[in-house]
Amino acid sequence: MRTILLTLMLVTGFCISVQAQERYRNFIQIGLTETACYSNQERGLDLSQNPTKDFRNSMGISLSIGRWVSRKVGLRLKFYGLDYKTVVSDNREENKSRYMAAFGDVMLNASSFLFGESKTRRWEISPFLGGGINRNFTYDEYGIGLRLGLLNNWRLYKRLSLQLELAYSVYEPDTDGFNPYENVVSGSSRHSLKNRDRSIIMELGLNYRFGK
C-alpha cells in the first residue's frame, strides 16, 4: 500500500510541475459526509452490514482544494473527519471515536473523455483515485489508506455547482485503534481486504471554481 501511495504522490507532483502554467480553473469544495465504517475486528460478530445502521454510521464535514490541470485531469487535496465508528459491537455509544483524514486525489473528467469538451454542460461525472492518511484521535492511531470514488457535479451557476460524491476507502488494519488480527479467521491472509479497516463515504456539498 505504501508503494502505491508513493506512486500516486509522484504522479501528482509530475502533473503539477508540467501543467503549472496552464490557465484552467482552481476549485474549492465543502460538504457534509455520511460514513459507514467496517472494522476488521467485527468479523465473527454477525453484525448487520447495512451502512445506515447507527452503530456503524457517522456524520462529518469535508473541505477540498484543487485544480484542473487540463480539461480532463484534475488534482485535489481533501480533508474530512469528525465522527467515526470503531465497530466492536452494535452499541452506537461504545463505537464512537473521532478522526481526521487527508487525501490526495487524481480525478478524470469522464464527461469530457466520452462526450468531448463543452462549456455549457450541466452535469459532469469524474471518477477518482487517491491515497492519504487517517488520524484516529480517540485511540491515538495513524493509518495509511487508499480510496476510489465517483464525483458528480451539477452546475447551478457559472462557477458554482452542487456535488454528490461516493467513495470507498481501505486502511491499514490498526487504523481504528484495535489489534488488527484479534478476530482473524485461522488460515486467512493477514493482508486480505477483509482484514483491513474500510469505509463507504457519501458526501453532499458545493463546488466553487475560481481563477482563470
d(CA 199, CA 120): 35
**What confidence tens digit (pLDDT) does each residue in 76-125 have?**
999 998 888 888 888 888 888 899 999 999 999 998 888 777 777 889 99
Query: In this structure, is the dihedral angle defined by the CA atoms of residues 124, 120, 74 and 108, taken in order, positive or negative?
Result: positive
The Cα–Cα gap between 144 and 166 comes to 19
| Distance between CA atoms of residues 158 and 132, nearest Å | 31
Kindly give the parts of the chain with pLDDT less than 50: 4, 6, 8-23, 185-187
Task: Give the pLDDT confidence score for residue 211 in this predicted structure.
Answer: 77
What 3-state DSSP class applies to 142? strand
Q: What gap in Å lies between CA 134 and CA 196, rounded to an integer?
A: 13
Q: Rounded to whole angstroms, how far apart are CA atoms 141 and 135?
A: 6
pTM of the full predicted structure?
Answer: 0.81
Tell me what pLDDT residue 2 has: 55
Q: Which residues contact 19 (CB under 8 A, 6 or more apart)?
A: 69, 70
Length of the chain: 212
d(CA 133, CA 169): 11
Contacts with 20 (C-beta within 8 Å, 6 or more apart), sequence order: none
